Amino acid sequence: MENPQSKAGQLLLVAFIIFTISLALAIGYLVALLLGATMRLGMPLPVTLLGVAVLVAAALLLAWFFKFRRIGDVLVSTYVTIRKMVKRIPLEMPSGRVEPLVVAGPYKYVRHPLYLNVMLLIVGWWLVLDYTFIILGGFFLFIWFYFFLEELEERELRMLYGEQYKRYADEVPKMVPFTKLKKR
């Protein structure tokens, strides 16, 4: 892979992200076919409008997210994590990442707001377009994020930020807001 700050590195990362989402949707489509699921549920207009509201909320969350993290920092950190995963580089290997730990804005509610945002987009598009395979693909994407990619990132962030990240992780849920009980 290229240097993440180069145009080629950024394009490669975007292509990988699009590929991952497309793969999850393709798996959702195949599962829907194998299960004989109805491809469209015939959602009523209020449900479609709810989908529009979810998409608007996702757009607002994304704008809020980028008030606290620069796109360049997001691309670099994502690139470094994925590069380590693909090349099987130990997480302990220095990566040159120097950005501070962000715990403000959407990060006060979830440790991985970008993954939450992708999931909101999936749910919103499912409600608007009314294709069963979209929600099934979203389920597989959630599994990928929650049980694989987030775990990898969590280990890397603990290595990068040490005790500061451990305290943060003890207080803030991974991807689903308001699911951690406050310690007394």
pLDDT in tens, the chain (184 residues): 445 556 676 677 778 888 989 999 999 999 999 999 999 999 999 999 999 999 999 999 999 999 998 887 887 777 777 777 777 777 677 666 677 899 999 999 999 999 999 999 999 999 999 999 999 999 999 999 888 888 888 888 888 899 999 999 999 999 889 887 655 4
Can you give the pTM of this predicted structure? 0.83
DSSP 183: P
Helices marked H in the chain — which ranges? Answer: 7-35, 45-68, 71-87, 113-129, 132-144, 150-161, 163-171
Q: Report the candidate in 101, 106, 109 with the shortest Cα–Cα distance to residue 153.
A: 101
